[in-house]
A = this chain, B = another copy of it.
Amino acid sequence: MRIQVVNPNTTRGMTAAVTRAAEAAAGGRFELRCSQPADGPLSIETAADTIAASPHVVAEVVAGVAEGCAGHVIACFDDPAVAACREVASGPVVGIAEGSMLAASVLGIRYGVVTTARAGIPMIEDMAVRYGLDRKLQSVRSCEMAVLELDGSPASNARVLTAAQQVLDDGAEVVVLGCAGMAQSAVWLESELRAPVVEGVAATVGLVYGMAAAGLRTSKLGAYAHPEGVAVR
């Protein structure tokens, strides 16, 4: 069984970090197809970025479907293009925000999210509402760094840790890392905190693999029916 993991941005360092996180989660039990699109923005931090990245994300999933991937993970906390990816796929497609929130919701009575920028906090709250997981969301805190500044260095990790501790002090029992770029720090963070740290790539790879292995498939009855020949540009 092969699970696809798409890094929606075109920064190779992030694709590498995402791949490592996915491989750790897979632990050799199944194959992975990890990639970034051929084109698109270097990072996704605005609605403009999401629009720019989306067609390329879908193209990657189309390729993954052609290669027989049984499930698909979109490795950006904005969950870009997930609906369109579900249109072209048969197996489950889950973005890492939805995946980590779903996972966190069964691990504790409340979870919190650490994100990059303060201005992005409402977008994460709105995503939680969309996924139905807003009541369990205790708080969202920011470490005030740009996506591409997250590099796993001690300075970078310290700032993420501070925000994670704030989330626990707010009353959350589980910390969700709100950016794929934090994946590289997940193990270290969990050793520093007394709470589970849900890293989106690992959690969602696990969920999608588990669901695909159980034979679960995306419904083609309505919202996610195949677009039937409409090319994505």
Contact = CB atoms under 8 A, between A and B. Distances in A.
Given A214-B206, A232-B52, A122 B109 contact: yes
A216 interface: yes
Contact of A215 (B25, B129, B131, B174): B25
Contacts of A29: 29, 213
Given A98-B106, A132-B132, A221-B195, A232 B173 contact: no
B222 A122 contact: yes
Interface residues of A, number: 86
Interface in A29-65: 29, 39-41, 46-52, 54-55, 58
A147 interface: no
B103 A173 contact: no
A16 interface: no
A23 B134 CA distance: 34
A130 B130 contact: yes
Contacts of A173: 219, 221-224
Interface string A90-107: 001110001000110111
A-B complex: 7 closest residue pairs judged by Cβ atoms: A210-B210, A206-B214, A132-B132, A108-B219, A206-B210, A109-B223, A47-B84
Interface of A: 25, 27, 29, 39-41, 46-52, 54-55, 58, 81, 83-84, 86-88, 92-94, 98, 102-103, 105-110, 118-123, 126, 129-136, 138, 168, 171, 173-174, 194-196, 198, 202-203, 205-225, 227, 230-233
6 contacts: A25-B213, A47-B227, A105-B131, A110-B223, A122-B223, A132-B135
